[in-house]
Structure 1
């Protein structure tokens, strides 16, 4: 199994947690992408300071202002990425931006459901639609017909919390709106795999594991077992191995199938 080798990648929600970890690892590869695009809401804000520090050291890192729920922001991001890439397309779109609101079933609200769905499910839909021309261009410019992440791929960051069969960590946190949004994201991934296969684009839902991030929080006794680095290293290894047979599947950070 070789190392993931891509010309260009865009990671959303890249200013912290798993998104920032992905950016760091892409930049640290022996053969890094020519362009790493890091999307975040406020590139000049305090929460993007680490991203800014990385950009000052890596000329191949381009920070993109991006609010995944705003069509105008998405359109501007596509124009900026397309301008930077020129004649080449975008190889890898990682829809990582996401939110979780820890409401239990009895207290779930209309506002929470709409807000969470808009970011976690509709955001990846809109991003993938908008970047489709650049993904198609990358696929057309890659030799051979076999699907792979090096050719063109959409990776939707899901969660086994969205697995209807597993209902991962129900007693840790019901987070109903988050679970429902990720189950819907899984169906979106399956639909994308069917709709975009003819364009040479691989589509997959990926569970990063239960990772120590600002989102998971928790006390010492309920701390997530995985570090960001462990999760990201595992996921990049999985992405490097994906092929035709994997499009439309739901895998975890170790490459194991997660039940729908």
Structure 2
């Protein structure tokens, strides 16, 4: 984790679960980022209490209002982050916010599909667009031409549930809209890697594992801390050859 050296990072869905875990780990780094932007829908609400407690102890933590379902909110957040950065770029964008609906093929609805896709797939697309100028600025301000997460990167938190080849645990949870949204997010990641490579931005889809969160449920296998520490280790090792790939927290490549 010591190899990941960044000046600024923004994490969506940062008020709980994996997002909050990322924020905690960034703040605990031997050399923490100068700015950690923790984005959530209601920064002053009860569900953001842990973030508020952290912010009271860490002046480099900025809680940022952001609704990934709202293009206006996304653009406003990008403007606030730009102002806070004061002329420098954003090194790392972690698209973590996601929702899961435990639907089946028979019970899936248009409303559910639209809601899940909006959060899990369209949100990361719009965030990539909105923060692209700041990511480009970070890349331009970093020495050398090689891609890395320390330079500029978009990390889309995906799921092995989005692997079309694996169809992981279908019998346990069909979760049709979630699986489809994550498969689409993987394709988005591939597209971003092709479109943003010329700007010096690395793009990767990352499976966090089956994590002990509200979404993960009672059968989950690893803690938030274990998952996030492992993912940060993966991110610290990524280079040019890894952009556009689908990787797991345990450093394995996941088939599309």
Identify whether the pair has TM-score above 0.5, normalized to the shorter chain: yes
Asked if structure 2 preserves the Cα contact closer than 8 Å seen for 1:9 and 1:91, the reply is: yes
Distance apart, 1:2 and its partner CA: 4.4
Q: Which residue of 2 aligns with 1:91?
A: 91
Match of 1:148 in 2: 148
Runs of 4+ in 1 over 6 A off after TM superposition: none
Query: 1:64 maps to which residue?
Result: 64
Give the drift of 1:209. Answer: 0.3
| 1:127-147 per-position Cα deviation (integer Å, ceiling 9, x unaligned) | 000000000000000000000
Alignment-derived partner of residue 114 in structure 2: 114
Aligned to 2:29: 29
Q: Which whole-Å CA distance do the structure 1 matches of 2:163 and 2:202 have between them? A: 21
Alpha-carbon distance, 1:216 to partner: 1.7
Match of 1:236 in 2: 232
Which residue does 1:190 correspond to in 2? 190
SS of 1:107 mapped into structure 2 = coil
Contact 2:2/2:30 (<8 A) preserved: no
SS in 2 for 1:167: coil
Helix, strand or coil: the match of 1:36?
A: strand
Q: Look up the match of 2:247.
A: 251
Q: Distance between the aligned counterparts of 1:239 and 1:172, measured in 2?
A: 30
SS at structure 2 position matched to 1:205: strand
1:217 alignment partner in structure 2: 217
For residues 245 and 225 of structure 2, what CA distance do their matches in structure 1 show?
23
Separation of aligned partners in 1, 2:47 and 2:172: 27
TM-score normalized with structure 1 length: 0.97
1:190 aligned counterpart, secondary structure:
helix
**Aligned: 1:206 with 2:206:** yes
Residue in structure 1 matched with residue 48 of structure 2 by the alignment = 48
- Paired with 1:76 and 1:20, the residues of 2 have a C-alpha distance of 22
Task: Output the CA distance in 1 between the equivalents of 2:153 and 2:126.
Answer: 15
Where does residue 128 of structure 1 map in the other structure?
128
Gaps of 5+ in 1: none
- How many residues are treated as equivalent by the alignment? 256
Q: Distance in 2 between matches of 1:148 and 1:254?
A: 19
- In 1, Cα distance between the equivalents of 2:26 and 2:169? 30
Would the aligned equivalents of 1:209 and 1:226 in 2 still touch at CA under 8 Å? yes
**What is the SS of the residue equivalent to 2:210?**
coil
Report the Cα distance in structure 2 between the residues aligned to 1:71 and 1:111, rounded to whole angstroms.
19
Unaligned runs of 5+ in 2: none
1:226-250 deviations in Å (ceiling 9; x for gaps): 0000000000000000000000000
Superposed displacement of residue 105, structure 1: 1.0
Q: Structure 2 matches for 1:170-185, cutoff 5 A?
A: 170-185=170-185
